[in-house]
Amino acid sequence: MKEAKKIRRASVAIPPVPVPEELGSEAYRAIDRMREALTARMSAGLSPTALSLALYDWWAHLAAAPGKRLELADKAGRKSARLLSHIAALAADPDAPPAIEPLPGDYRFSAEEWKKPPFSLWAQAFLLNQQWWHNVTHEVPGMTPHHEDVVSFGTRQMLDVFSPSNVPFMNPEVLKRTFETGGMNFVTGFSNWLEDQTRTLSGRPPVGAENFVVGKDVAVTPGKVVYRNHLIELIQYAPSTSDVFAEPVLIVPAWIMKYYILDLSPANSLIRYLVDKGHTVFCISWRNPTADDRDLGLDDYRRLGVMAAIDAVSAIVPDRRIHATGYCLGGTLLSIAAAAMARSHDDRLASVTLLAAQTDFSEPGELALFIDHDQMHLLESMMWDRGYLSADQMAGAFQLLRTNDLIWSRMVHDYLMGERQPMFDLMAWNADTTRMPYRMHAEYLRRLYLDNELATSRLMVDGRPASIQNIREPMFVVGTERDHVAPWRSVYKIHDLSDTEVTFVLTSGGHNAGIVSEPGRPNRHYRIATKHADGVSIGPDEWTAAAEGRSGTWWEAWAEWLAAHSQEVRVPPPSMGAPDRGFAPLADAPGTYVLQH
């Protein structure tokens, strides 16, 4: 009994094991992360708090602005009078001009059937109502600009749902199709909808994508994988000319997409075009990350991606400077790498080409609607839970930016008209989605979009700031007129950040179709102008008025620019890889990473 008491006293005397304060705090944060991740699943990744704050900001300031409300009442009366006047004009002249025209890029009411009453009246009433709601959500005194953008964007989404073009009995094209088919268009449309839902739930690609097999139908330019690490495969393409330019071209695509957007079908492959022009072309193919890659950061993508590729190219084609090219996020990453190289006096680059790539994120366009501190916290929690940002979450955000083109027009065409839009290579590529690691994407959004560290020279690489101002290589920069991901005015800001020669091109098309713009495609045009290192930087509107306009594709202008910035004497093509220097060919192009799902 005495022995038992001694044991009990001894056990009581043992002090508790201290828990480090950092571990305790991390446990509390994990609780919040789990709650946020659950919220994100129920709200489709949109922050209810951010939306509520924006709505309250709008409502409170509108309620406190009697002048604004009187103005809105006056505008409502004026728009009603315009519609009534238009109706009266139609009674006298069936070809009377409309009271309002759709916004540029809005093709919902472009068919001839929409120009006749009553369909024209429904379209006119909708467009006037849309214009009035634009007034309601803009220029509310005292409202935060970001909240104004969020409320305006949300209002447009709601209005688009109720567009007459989306209502079967109000859409003359659907009615015409119904009469022609005896209503079978709805039967076929339902079948199309059911097939699409089945494919989505089973994780299969959309109808027709199976006709574009990577390595067989697309991504078929001959080449070899000459280097591989955990993050990239580097592809070297086989020459198609007897001699080549001395300087090789290295392409850094965005890791948000499969690289072969630049090597689609042979007819519209930018890589094949460069090879046929006599360039030795290398291209990075990014690994499709999984939850195990959650801790890969932005600097890992720079080191294991861009810098590893530059090291490999320098070994395979020694003593040659490199024409480095970056597309979208790949261009932003290339800018960071080039700035860091300039700071370290690494002169291996001959030029830098940026395709639809932003370096200043102060005006990033409508994508910034999904990026504020509250939304960022929700997004980080969602990625923290999974370890990555999934493809469906990224696709949903991009579709919201262009609902008329990517959602409603497709629903009308496939489900109401009962017709399938033919699949083509760019659409099939768009369905071949990728993921992004938790840490990298969080750093990218927070440090570049939210804090704009690159443009302000506060982005640190190896303990030193990466400043674009230090880049001395000539730059060729392309923006696209209808870019919803990297608006051209944002891309244009490279003029204000660099002290080197900048040749800027503004081309027709959007973020993808504007870049994939092969020679011979009809209705293509672009503007081009060069600012020399000692030149004066001007604003985008002034640039547009002064730049030279050309018809055709910017590919031809780039090919001329690359030739002008290369050595005049061409050389024999280099060997495929460099086995004696540790870069033996590992596989045929397109490699293995591009096939990961």
**3-state secondary structure (DSSP) of residue 275:** helix
In contact, 239 and 455? CB cutoff 8 Å: no
Any long-range contacts for 566-569 (C-beta under 8 Å, 24+ apart)? 566/245, 566/246, 566/247, 566/323, 566/350, 567/245, 567/246, 567/247, 569/246
> For residue 505, which of 334, 335, 355, 359 has the smallest C-alpha distance?
355
> For residue 340, which of 352, 323, 328, 356 has the smallest C-alpha distance?
352
In contact, 250 and 310? CB cutoff 8 Å: yes
- Number of helical (H) and strand (E) elements in the chain, helices listed first: 22, 15
**3-state secondary structure (DSSP) of residue 204:** coil
Q: What angle do CA 282, 283, 289 make, to 5 degrees?
A: 150
> For residue 369, which of 46, 150, 138 has the smallest C-alpha distance?
150
Helix spans in 14-113 (H) = 21-42, 48-63, 66-92
In contact, 370 and 401? CB cutoff 8 Å: no
Contacts of residue 80, defined as CB under 8 A and 6 or more positions apart, other chains included, come to none
In contact, 504 and 531? CB cutoff 8 Å: yes
- Tokens representing 322 are 């490199």
Region of residue 523 (left: phi > 0; alpha: psi -120 to 50; beta: else): left
Any idea which residues carry the catalytic annotation? 328
CB atoms within 10 A of CB 474: 22
In contact, 348 and 309? CB cutoff 8 Å: no
**3-state secondary structure (DSSP) of residue 544:** helix
In contact, 476 and 331? CB cutoff 8 Å: no
